[in-house]
Amino acid sequence: MVLLPNGHPLVAGSASASPLVRALRGDRPERTPVWFMRQAGRSLPEYREARKGTTMLEACLDPALVAEITAQPVRRHGVDAGILFSDIVVPLLLAGVDVTIKPGVGPVFASPVRTAADVAALPSLGSAADRGGFDRSLDVVRQAVSASLGLLGETPLIGFAGAPFTLAAYMVDGGPSRDHLEARRLMIADPETWDALMNWAADAAGLFLRAQVLAGASAVQLFDSWVGSVPRDRYVARCAPATARVFSHVGDLEVPRIHFGTHTGHLLEDMKEAGATAMGIDVTVPLDEAARRLPGVPLQGNIDPAVLGAPWEAIEAHVRDVVRRGLAAPSHVVNLGHGVPPDTDPEVLTRIVDLVHGL
Ligand code: CP3
């Protein structure tokens, strides 16, 4: 059994009996759990207020502010989970990589990583055991998790990280790109350099996840948002092993492992196989179809974010349809098929939570 720093056994206590964790373990709790990817963010006026005068990455490194922003959507909507307010590039920043987040754009790297020499020049990560520089720098994440638990009370906290392909898509391209062409080129042209980069990213993400779980997160989600641009055979050969390596960093900890990417209909089975215990489904695959393809696997998803701007009748019909299709899976955590669009009316999200809880 793994003990938390406070001496309590991991995943004991109220959060492990929460509807979220029960559903992620394959149970159907009385109340169907619901939360939203990117629930903490610009759709909330209290978020915009809290973030005033602070850059995104500064905010991620301020434990009290992280806790406040993590708790905001739980307070407002009554969702069944908080997700740590952070970003997939935070572990890279903490490792010493020169990265910023440009508002309205996304992560931007000072030096794209494209050659064997670039990969060799990445900061050393050490290991959790040797308390090297990276592990120590993760203390700010541990503090942010502890502070968030303090505000969340009984509501479980989800920890997360970016999967190696999605991190590499930014690192190789140097910033956001439409189809991740530079990353997919490197994967084919220089597989050895590619694999080395993927392994580095896997350890950075894996140690980041592990720190969140040991500080008290009740479940983890690994985002491979952009891996849908990779064909299946190349995913299996050049991406899945590194994803498995991320999951192996938390494999001895008894927390559910959700895995999610967009446009990943061709990869669902392989992504599950990489070490997930539950799968997030994007809008392109109906949940009943996903349930047939992933027998016995708890599913999360997949309300279309595009429906959030429609009249309530259309939203309600869509949510009911998603919940009905979700009955084909052993269990279902209601979520969107991707993140909350920043211009979403937050009252719509609250109404969806009430609708799902009332079904
Ligand atoms: O509420 C939550 O879901 C937790 C917070 C969270 C953020 N980023 C906060 C954030 C999570 C889980 C992420 C993960 C993330 N970051 C992913 C994977 C999930 C996904 O949406 O696919 C990716 C691809 C990133 C990279 C990234 N960071 C992008 C594309 C952006 C948006 C840039 C912009 O301004 O539109 C960011 C910045 C970011 N991360 C914001 C938030 C709330 C916006 C920052 C702001 O408020 O200005």
Cα(180) to ligand 1 centroid in Å equals 17
For the record, the structure tokens of 59 come out as 């905010």
Protein residues with CB under 6 Å of any ligand 1 atom = 37-42, 51, 56, 83, 85, 87-88, 101, 103-107, 160, 162, 166, 223, 225, 339
184 found inside a domain: yes
Beta carbons of 40 and 69 less than 8 angstroms apart? yes
Write the DSSP symbol of residue 107.
Answer: E
Q: What is the mean pLDDT of residues 87-96?
A: 97
4 found inside a domain: no
194 found inside a domain: yes
155 found inside a domain: yes
Question: Which amino acids are annotated catalytic?
Answer: 38, 42, 51, 87, 170
For the question of an ipTM over 0.85, the answer is: yes
In the structure, what pLDDT confidence band is assigned to residue 234 with cuts at 50, 70 and 90? very high
Beta carbons of 282 and 262 less than 8 angstroms apart? yes
Q: Which residues contact 331 (CB under 8 A, 6 or more apart)?
A: 22, 23, 24, 25, 26, 27, 28, 298, 299
pLDDT in tens, 280-308: 999 999 999 999 999 999 999 999 999 99
Q: Residues 34, 40, 43, 44: what is their CA dihedral angle, to the nearest 10 degrees?
A: 100
Residue 34, domain extent: 14-358
Q: Please count the structural domains in the chain.
A: 1
Q: Considering only CA atoms, which of 133, 154, 142, 5 is closest in space to residue 63?
A: 142
pTM summary value:
0.95
What CATH number corresponds to the domain at position 205?
3.20.20.210
pLDDT in tens, 151-161: 999 999 999 99
pLDDT of residue 126: 79
158 found inside a domain: yes
2 found inside a domain: no
CA pair distance 168, 233, nearest whole angstrom: 18
pLDDT in tens, 244-265: 999 999 999 989 999 999 999 9
Residue 256 φ then ψ, to 5°: -60, 145
Instruction: Count other C-beta atoms under 10 Å from residue 192's C-beta.
Output: 9
User: Which of 35, 36, 38, 260 has most ligand 1 atoms within 8 Å of CB, for mutation?
Assistant: 38
Exposure class string for 228-261: b at 16+ Cβ within 10 A, else e: bbbeeeebeebbbebbbbbbebbeebebbbbbbb
8 found inside a domain: no
Where residue 79 falls (left for φ over 0; alpha for ψ -120 to 50; beta otherwise) is beta
331 belongs to an annotated ligand binding site: no
Tabulate helix, strand, coil % of the chain (nearest 5): 50, 10, 40
22 found inside a domain: yes
Instruction: Give the helix ranges, DSSP H, for 55-189.
Output: 56-60, 63-77, 90-95, 116-120, 133-137, 139-152, 164-173, 181-189
Cα 348 to Cα 39, 64, 95, 203, 245: the distances in Å are: 12, 28, 39, 38, 38
